[in-house]
Amino acid sequence: MSSTIIRIMTYQVDHCRGRDGKVDPDRISQVIACARPDIVALQGIDAEAPFDHLIRLEQRLGLKAYSPGRRDCNAYLSSLRLAGLREYDLGQQGVCLRADADVHGKRLHLFNIRLQPTLAGRIRQIHALLGSELLGDDALVCPVIVLGDFGDFFWNLGNLELNMRLRPVARPLWRATYPACFPVIGRDRAYLRGQVKVTDSFIERSPLAREASSHLPLILTTEIHEPARTLRVKEIKRTGMEVAAG
């Protein structure tokens, strides 16, 4: 079994508006640059003219941007090739942006989500996320990472369902990411499924990060494994037999 290590960040940038009320995508780009991620899952980014902050981040960081191209959306910045980009409405302003990353020949399913803080709304949004169109899809045979802003202030039954269906990533001892100026709530986190594990995680707590957005970013060092069955598929392909992509 072979493995590949990449660094992934999830960051709710809140329209690039800082604690001082100033909208400044350059501050966000500096926070991201300090962590040197391979992939960034953004929430609350404006990606539509004349307020296209995403293109500004793309230019400053040298990472390719992927988004639905509108205001207040989820998006990705990545040094790796992403494909299959699709946005899903989870109901009541909850959203999921799915993409498949090509990680040096290995496929990784990414689900970048933003849930809303209302209790009943979150439960319905989590049911939609776990439904047959998304995480319940039998075609998802490659490793999965679900990450983003889970919108919760208190533990509830929706979190229990997530923990039963996915593996929560162990976060730093002090897990809070919100509000950035004095974080007490761990709204930003990640879950795993399949042959993938997180070997290290940290929350960027620099003075700049505390000023740049209402959330602090979470950074994960991720190890993606290639199971034996995938290796066998490659061998079959070399013989000329066609195999459907997983």
Residue at token pair 């923990």:
163
10 Å Cβ neighbour count for 235? 9
Among 132, 148, 151, CA closest to 140: 132
Domain ranges of the chain: 2-238
Homologous superfamily assigned to 2-238: Endonuclease/exonuclease/phosphatase (3.60.10.10)
For 138-152, the pLDDT digits (tens) are 999 999 999 999 998
Q: Is the pTM of this model over 0.95?
A: no
pLDDT above 60: residue 242: no
User: What gap in Å lies between CA 73 and CA 60, rounded to an integer?
Assistant: 20
| Percentage of the chain modeled with pLDDT above 90 | 78
Residues 6+ apart with CB under 8 A from 205: 183, 216
Q: In the structure encoding, which two tokens stand for residue 149, read together?
A: 């802003």
Residues 6+ apart with CB under 8 A from 22: none
Q: Label the pairing between strands 144-149 and 106-114.
A: parallel
Q: Is the peptide bond before 179 cis (omega within 30 degrees of 0)?
A: yes
Residue 1 one-letter amino acid = M
Residue 13 — pLDDT band, cuts 50, 70, 90?
very high
For 131-185, the pLDDT digits (tens) are 999 999 999 999 999 999 999 877 666 788 899 999 999 877 778 999 999 999 9
Give, rounded to a whole angstrom, the gap between the first and last alpha carbons of the chain: 17
User: What gap in Å lies between CA 144 and CA 190, rounded to an integer?
Assistant: 10
pLDDT above 50: residue 48: yes
User: What gap in Å lies between CA 1 and CA 223, rounded to an integer?
Assistant: 12
